[in-house]
Amino acid sequence: MPQNIPLKLPAVVWNGRYKAHAVPKQHPESSHRVDVILEALKKNKLLSEENGVCVWRKYSHGLRLCHSKAYVELVEKACASLNKGEVAFLPTGDVTIVRESFSVAQDAVSSVCLGIDLVMQGDFPSAFVVVRPPGHHAESEKGMGFCLFNNVAIGARYAQHAWGKSRVAIIDWDLHHGNGTEEIFLKDPSILYVSTHQRGIYPGTGQEEVRGKKGEHIINIPIEGGPSSRSALLDFYLNELPERLLEFKPELILISCGFDAHKLDPLGGFTLESEDYGEMTRALVKISASLSNCPIVSVLEGGYNLDALRESSVAHVLGFMH
């Protein structure tokens, strides 16, 4: 790893096969999402040979950290049964798959594990992992909502198993509730799961506000869509979340980084501006500094307007540098 990397420049991690997880034309979760993020970061000199890391190894054991053997085999067999170019739905839910999807989803998980390795080794203080398919809707035995495997959940377990971290916080600011992440960690107080999401939309979970009532480690904040959603989100992330994280004292912070709370996103009714993602990121960096520079790894989830993705991802990465 180069030794002349600026102190606060985050690693940007991706894998080279994300386009092989092909989806039908007009499907919102397309490879163009990753394309525009990487292009925007390069254009703004936030992605270069100094901090860009393309995955070069597979963490083959990672899937079983959060998913059952039966479910992993179901996904593998469902994908392997398809002819080249054939598109189908995963048997458990609304996830489009092709023959290559299982391998690409493994690469997404590997990207997260590599991002965690980079920050734990001290190579970078933070990392932005740009992957698809996304993950936070995937439960231990069920894929759904464009998600095959729960990238962030596996990352949390990986940090515990490989790096001995006893407390990991997952901050989920995707528009949708991460039902899969909550299901996987519902009875595990070593993981703090915090989700802000739009009330009354897919997947229909997390709609009752819970602030620590599930063993103090599951915090759901459903918010009504509309003009007031921006102030509600910013108030939570800037004023309420810091206290929760300082109480929990995580040794790693993971972000389920959906950009679909943006005002331009076609799937929801939140009204965040692009720069708000930078503001929320800076808030987490400030908290990290109060926690002995706790590493932060951000993992791409949703976000389906390409212009919003360009601007928000740049603001997000710049937020790590302040």
One digit per residue, pLDDT tens: the chain, 322 residues? Answer: 344 444 478 999 998 899 999 999 999 999 999 999 999 999 999 998 888 877 656 676 689 999 999 999 999 999 999 999 999 999 998 999 999 999 999 999 999 999 999 999 999 999 999 999 999 999 999 999 999 999 999 999 999 999 999 999 999 999 999 999 999 999 999 999 999 999 999 999 998 777 655 558 999 999 999 999 999 999 999 999 999 999 999 999 999 999 999 999 999 999 999 999 999 999 999 999 999 999 999 999 999 999 999 999 999 999 999 7
Q: What is the pLDDT of residue 95?
A: 96
Q: What is the pLDDT of residue 85?
A: 92
Ramachandran quadrant class, 226 (left: phi over 0; alpha: psi -120 to 50; beta: rest): left
Q: What is the pLDDT of residue 9?
A: 82
Q: Record the pTM.
A: 0.95
The helix/strand/coil state of 29 is: coil
Our answer to whether residue 197 is catalytic in this structure is no
The active-site residue out of 21, 67, 136, 137 is: 137
Amino acid, res. 264: L
Q: What is the pLDDT of residue 212?
A: 54
In the 3-class helix/strand/coil scheme, how is 123-166 assigned residue by residue? CCCEEEECCCCCCCCCECCECECCECCCHHHHHHHHHHHHHCCC
Could you give all domains of the chain from N- to C-terminal order, each with its CATH number?
Answer: 11-319 (3.40.800.20)
Q: What is the pLDDT of residue 57?
A: 64
